[in-house]
């Protein structure tokens, strides 16, 4: 990944994290639709341990990577669902 692309990605993640942190309340359920490798959802789960974070991703390999990362951090407030996002019917506060 080029330096410019990495910087843009970091800025994008920072902006999304800021919005979620400013809106979330303890006990909220936050869903990261099309989560990929979990970059956003893992940060949210780490920064908001009183919230439930659900990562939804269609690609198995991406979810395996995300699960490995969250396990390495010892996160216990994060769940993983392999599915297309339109199949998710659960309730959530922030998506």
Domain with residue 16: its CATH number is 3.40.50.150
Confidence of residue 31 (pLDDT cuts 50, 70, 90): very high
31 burial level (CB within 10 Å; 0-12, 13-18, 19+): buried
The residue range of the domain holding 79 is 3-87
Q: Is residue 95 part of a domain?
A: no
pTM here is 0.90
Main-chain phi, psi angles of 43, to 5 degrees? -60, -45
Q: Is residue 50 part of a domain?
A: yes
Percent of the chain exceeding pLDDT 90 equals 83
Q: Which of 85, 70, 87, 83 is nearest to 33 (CA)?
A: 85
Q: What integer pLDDT is reported at residue 1 of this predicted model?
A: 72
Q: How many domains does the chain have?
A: 1
């Amino acid at each position: 990944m080029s330096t410019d692309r990495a910087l843009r990605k970091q800025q994008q993640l920072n902006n999304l994290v800021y919005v979620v942190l400013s809106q979330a309340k303890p006990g909220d359920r936050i869903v990261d639709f099309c989560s990929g490798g979990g970059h956003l959802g893992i940060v949210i789960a780490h920064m908001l341990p009183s919230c439930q974070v659900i990562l939804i991703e269609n690609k198995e390999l991406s979810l395996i990577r995300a699960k490995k990362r969250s396990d390495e951090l010892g996160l216990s407030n994060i769940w993983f669902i392999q599915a297309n996002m339109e199949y998710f019917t659960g309730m959530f506060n922030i998506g």
